Structure 1
Amino acid sequence: MAQSSNSTFFSQDELNKLKSDYETGGLEAAVSLIQMKLQKLDSAEINIAVTGETGAGKSTFINAMRGLRDHGEGAAKTGMCETTMEPAPYPHPNLPNVCFWNLPGIGSVIFPVDQYLREMDFKIYDFFIIISGCRFRENDVKLAEEIKRLGTNFYFVRSKIDNDLDSFKKECVDFNTNKQLDKIRNDCVSNLEKAGIPLPTVFLISNFKLNDFDFPALKETLANNLENIKKHVFLLSLPNTTLEIVENKRKELENRIWILATLSGVVGAVPIPGLSFAFKIGIMIAGIQYFRQYLGLDDASLRRLADMAQKPLGFLKTELKTALVGEITDDLVRSVLLGSVVVAISVAEAVLDFVPVVGSIFGAGSSFAMIYKLLSDALNELVENAQRVVKAAFGTD
């Protein structure tokens, strides 16, 4: 089986049960598992705690992870003094169920370490980012030990690495970037090990360069340490700064096609005049809008990306070569559906080979096969446009 099409949501046991439920209880029984998965997907929450000493760059990190600059609408407040008196939530602009929490700086006059550990409700967070703008200190270690005691993942992030490198360049005649990064990393690791943290991993980042240093490795690590559905949601939340991120989103969004096509197949199997065609149109519109939003092609996302890349919004929009980024009307979708029925049926066998469990239920030429093909084509078209926008924004190939 092509596991890439559904492994994020369904185990092999669940797929076998899907087929078994259909054989014993018909379409209604088979689709219940899929509806439950869709509900879990849309309600999945991720709460990410960002903490560390005052002035470490916590707010700027939160803004960067949400695709915002510090002055953007909804950005976390930044400042040289402590600006956070209590945990402050900052939902993702497109996925409000993904929330970054800016925790007060540990070890400040306002929040001594012991009081901090008592008052912060660590249990609500999926993982912690412990940020330092220089060396990790005793307070960071105490915080990590408390998080570890609760069985929650935590990650050490050394921010402002670009400032350090600029300073070293001015002081050193024989400056070597990689050697200096290794020196900083080894120093951080050594200090943490001496303080009692075994084999710590430290990510060196600049909050203003999301594609440089260890930022890509950090995002990959965070995603890989989340369980399947939360990993899916986290990957969709990442700002489009590289082609790899866009491609990862394509793979995740293919799972949505599988679910929407299955729901279409169920309705398509019910002989109610007019309902099946109207339902197909609704599914197509919902699918295209969903893809467009999480690929960063809606107007609000494009504005944020232009601001982050410091490029004119109009310049990025010139890379959009599809009608699917405009208004999605019933007429547009009807023309797509009516013009593609023959094509969809002609590729039904390939579609059903790709998802054989559902294919064995609905069969060739079904609503499932048609919607799967049409939404796949729409997704590919939108991904191509998102890739062009990323290239224009960040000058990457």
Structure 2
Amino acid sequence: MDPSSNSVYFSLEELKDLESAYESGGMEKVVILIQEKLNKLKSAELHIAVTGESGAGKSTFINAMRGLRSIDEGAAKIGITETTMVPTQYKHPSFPEVCFWDLPGVGTTTFPVKDYLREMKFQQYDFFIIISRGRFTENYAKLAQEIKTLGKHFYFVRSQIDNDLRALEIEGRNAERKTELTKIRNACVGCLREAGISQPTVFLISSFQVNEFDFSALWATLINNVDNMKKDIFLKSLPNIALEIVEWKRDQLKKRLWMLATVSGTVRAEGVSGAEGTEAVSGAMAGDLACDLRKLITAIEEMCTCLGLDDASLQRLANVARKPVEVLKAEVKTPLTGEINNECMKTMLQCSNFKASVDMELPINLVQIIASIFQTVSSAGITYKLLSNALTELVKNAKNVVKAAFGTD
């Protein structure tokens, strides 16, 4: 399933509010409601708890989820002994609203299960990753049952799969890889069923090979089980380790283009009197356009970061792929990742062309409302087309970077 397929930013009630606002107050009221939704998207937070027994690889997993190595600034501390003594928060380096919590190992003398469930304050987390490096024990089942009583989702991850396969090679047991992975998965599932988990799903991963094994399947499952607002921010935070992740991000970003176009390009130039950040632009359509160039520039910059085309993201991906960052940067051939000023944006607007019946990829219950807006306000349509073209160009570059990083065809 496409992790972005079911994401709708507006509830049915909010859609009715949009329609009523347009009928009673025109675009001014509509823009206010849409801007409020965009602000909520920016302020939403996601808190992910990573738990399990001591030494299972929780800290390494958190680093992998954020595209970091243990030697990078801000990385979770890794050690052969228990290094996490209190719940420790690690924010994503580019999207700090996505927070991972490294919880102390469960079942140790310091944190026996009966105290662990109370002291970790499980209610504050959105969902839980339960990690094991071997068989899942009774402690894991107790954790899962406690999480279930809170109405939260939990996911079982079997870590260090690369070490298991390497050990088989050293022993000269040249068994077929898929067969061995199936054996490991079945053993984990069997233990969890014996411990009282009726239909467990186990993801096999290596935190040092995030483009292998079940990492993509894990991400897809996590995204499909969070609400729409948090789905949006979690998708943005994923490292681009596969082409499908870039496609998920593209589809998610498409869903907000009409909102960005509406708030940045729905005022005709003749109705503007010195509005801050808003300038008249000669367009290809009749009359002049009034667009908030600052908002358009910010929108493109945010798309660049989401698609991993900023310098920091490229460096993190190069580290994961073990490639010189220059190799990845060489695949970024669009000027949109550089500094975009007002004059550059005006040129892009003048080159934009828009027809309301074309390229409007909207939920069916939005089409009538927004199509009416875009047909009435020429600036909204042109800015939509500009952002759509920019997204297409950025996605193309992001895919080229993934191919260079991992040799993906």
Compute the TM-score of the two structures, normalised by the length of structure 1: 0.93
**2:358 paired residue number:** 350
Q: How has the CA–CA distance of structure 1 residues 384 and 150 changed in structure 2, closer, same or farther, with 3 Å as cutoff?
A: same
Q: 1:220 to 1:353 in 2, by over 3 A?
A: closer
Question: What is the alpha-carbon distance in structure 1 between the residues aligned to residue 359 and residue 172 of structure 2?
Answer: 60
Specify the code of the residue in structure 1 equivalent to 2:279: F
Q: Which residue of 1 aligns with 2:204?
A: 204
Q: Is the 8 A contact 2:266 2:378 kept in 1?
A: no
Task: Flag the 1:387–1:351 CA change in 2: closer, same or farther, 3 A.
Answer: closer
Q: Distance in 2 between matches of 1:113 and 1:12?
A: 43
CA shift digits 1:353-377 (9 cap, x unpaired): 8644212024266110010001111
Query: How far apart are the structure 2 equivalents of 1:117 and 1:217?
Result: 28
Distance 1:242 1:289, change over 3 A: same
- Contact 1:49/1:125, CA 8 A, preserved across alignment: yes
Q: Deviations over 1:13-57 (max 9, x none)?
A: 533442232112322332333122112211111000000011100
| Structure ranking higher in helix proportion | 1
Instruction: Name the counterpart of 2:308.
Output: 296
CA displacement, residues 231-268 of structure 1 (integer Å, 9 cap, x when unaligned): 11111110011111011111111123211111124333
Residues 1:125 and 2:134 aligned together: no
Q: Say if 1:65 and 1:239, in contact at 8 Å, map to a contact too.
A: yes
Matched, 1:158 2:158: yes
Shift of the 146–328 alpha-carbon distance from structure 1 to 2, 3 Å rule, reads same
8 Å Cα contact 1:47-1:100 kept in structure 2 = yes
SS across alignment from 2:10:
coil
Matches of 1:327 and 1:251, distance apart in 2:
25
Q: Do the aligned partners of 2:88 and 2:101 also contact (CA within 8 Å) in 1?
A: yes
> Paired residue for 2:384, among 372, 380, 388?
372
Structure 2 distance, partners of 1:23, 1:364, is 13
Question: 3-state SS of the aligned residue for 2:154?
Answer: strand
Q: 1:115 to 1:130 in 2, by over 3 A?
A: same
Supply the AA of the counterpart residue of 2:233: V
Rounded Cα–Cα distance in structure 2 between residues aligned with 1:280 and 1:5 = 30
Q: List runs of 5+ in structure 2 lacking aligned partners.
A: 281-290
Q: Deviations for 1:97-120, whole angstroms, at most 9, x for unmatched residues?
A: 100000001112221222212211
SS of structure 2 residue aligned to 1:277: strand
Q: Distance in 2 between matches of 1:124 and 1:304?
A: 29
Matches within 5 A, 1:81-120: 81-120=81-120
What is the CA–CA distance in structure 2 between the aligned matches of 1:129 and 1:310, rounded to whole Å? 27
- Answer yes or no: is 1:19 the counterpart of 2:19: yes
Match of 2:63 in 1: 63
* Aligned pairs for 1:152-301 within 5 A: 152-171=152-171, 173-268=173-268, 271-273=271-273, 275=275, 276-277=278-279, 279-301=291-313
Offset of 1:391 from its aligned partner? 0.5
Note if contact 1:351-1:372 (Cα within 8 Å) is conserved in structure 2: no
Q: Could you tell me whether the CA contact under 8 Å between 2:265 and 2:292 is conserved in 1?
A: no
Could you say which residue in structure 1 is the equivalent of 2:407?
395
State the number of aligned residues. 390
Q: Alpha-carbon deviation of 1:273? A: 4.2
Helix, strand or coil for the counterpart of 1:350? Answer: coil
The ranges of structure 1 where at least 4 consecutive aligned residues each deviate by more than 4 angstroms after the TM superposition are 4-7, 351-355
Identity among equivalent positions (%) equals 57
Correspondence for 2:283: none
**CA distance in structure 2 between the partners assigned to 1:143 and 1:206 by the alignment:** 23
> Are the aligned partners of 1:19 and 1:361 in contact in 2 as well (CA < 8 Å)?
no
Q: Bigger shift: 223-232 or 47-56?
A: 223-232
Partner residue in 1 for 2:345:
333
Amino acid at match of 1:376: S
* Partner deviation per Cα, 1:151-205 (whole Å, 9 max, x = no partner): 1111110000111112123335451111111111111111111111111111111
From 290, 307, 315, the counterpart of 2:327: 315
CA contact (8 A) 1:51 1:106 kept: yes
Against the structure 1 CA distance between its residues 174 and 303, is the aligned structure 2 distance closer, same or farther, given a 3 Å change threshold?
Answer: closer
**Does the Cα contact within 8 Å between 2:106 and 2:113 map onto a contact in 1?**
yes
* Cα separation, 2, equivalents of 1:6 and 1:160: 33
CA gap 1:288/1:178 in 2 versus in 1, 3 angstroms: same
Distance 2:174 2:83 in 1: 39
Secondary structure of the structure 1 residue equivalent to 2:254? helix
8 Å contact from structure 1 (residues 91, 98) kept in 2? yes
Is 1:149 matched with 2:149? yes
Letter in 2 for 1:243: L
2:397 to 364, 385, 391: 385
Distance in 2 (alpha carbons) for counterparts of 1:24 and 1:330: 34
Q: In structure 1, list runs of 5 or more residues that go unmatched.
A: none
> Structure 1 residues 169-178 or 208-217, which shifts more?
169-178
Q: CA RMSD in A?
A: 2.0
Larger displacement relative to structure 2 (90-99 or 107-116): 107-116
